[in-house]
Amino acid sequence: MSKQDVWQGTLALMVLKTLEAMGAMHGYGIARRIEQVSDDRLALNYGTLYPALVKLEQEGFIDAKWGVSEHGRRAKYYSLTRAGHREVARAEREWRQTTELVARFLAPAKAGS
């Protein structure tokens, strides 16, 4: 897989996970939340978020609705759909399996014992 694919897959999971934890959020909010959770270690280019949102919406994992922010600004709010909830569970499981697998390769001594 190319870097971009990894990044896109990861980003999508981050978005879904954020929405699962926080409920409906607008794009800026999601971006800031991802930065905060990563302790600002992840320098997110906000622009990359929106293509990911479009794709997730097309896949039917998230829904969008216009609303008003706490400071009275109009913004588009995203929330998880039923399919989205299932997708989070699936993707989480898959991600965990992948990282476990990779972890074994990174620590071969332990795996061999």
Partner 1 sequence: MSAPRQRTRALSALRRLLARLGGSFGGRARAERERELHDELESHLQLDVDERIARGVPPDEARRQALLALGGLEATKERVRDAARTRWLEDLLHDARFALRGFRRDRLFFAVVVLTFALGIGANTAIFAAFNAVLLRPLPYPDGDRLVRISSTDLRAGESRMPVTPADFADYRDATRSYSLMAASSDGIFTLTGEGEPESIIGYRFAPEMFTVLGVHPALGRAFVAADGAHVVVLSDRLWRRRFHSDPGVVGRYIRLDSERYLVVGVMPQSFNQWGSNELWVPLVIGPDIATSRTRPMIRIVARLRPGATVESARAELRTVAASLATAHPDTNALRGAEVVSLRTIDSGDARPALYVLLGAVVFVLLLTSSNIAGLSLARASRRNREIALRTALGAGRGRIVRQLFTESVLLACIGGAAGVVLALWSTDLLVRLFPTHTSNVHIPHIDHIPIDARVLLFGVAATLLAGTLAGLTPAIRGSRIDFGDMLKGGRASVRGSRIRPVLVAAQIGLALVLSAGAGLTILSAHARQQRLGFDGDRVFTARVLLDRSRYPDEARRRQFAVDLDARLHATRDIRESGLVHILPLCGWSSPVDYHTPGHPEETHEAGLLLADAGYFSTMRIPILRGRSFTATDTLTAPKVALVDERFARHVFGSIEVVGKRVDFGTAKEPDWRTIVGVVGDVSNDPPPQRQRMMIYWPFAQDDPPFLAVVARGDGEASAVAAAVRDAIWAVDREQPISYAMPMDELVADAFALDRTSTIILGFFALVALVIAAMGVYGVLAHTVLERRHEIGIRLALGAPRRHIVTLVGRQLALMTATGLVVGLAATLAAGRVLAALLEGVSAHDPGLLAGIITLLALVAAAAAALPLWRALRTDPMIALRDP
**Closer of 71 and 110 to partner 1 (Cβ):** 71
**Closer of 50 and 107 to partner 1 (Cβ):** 50
**Closer of 58 and 113 to partner 1 (Cβ):** 58
Q: How far apart are CA 22 and CA 88, in angstroms?
A: 14
Query: Which stretches of the chain bind partner 1, using CB under 8 A?
Result: 1-2, 5, 26-29, 32, 45-48, 50-52, 54-55, 58, 60, 69, 71, 73-76, 81-83, 86
8-state DSSP, 48: G
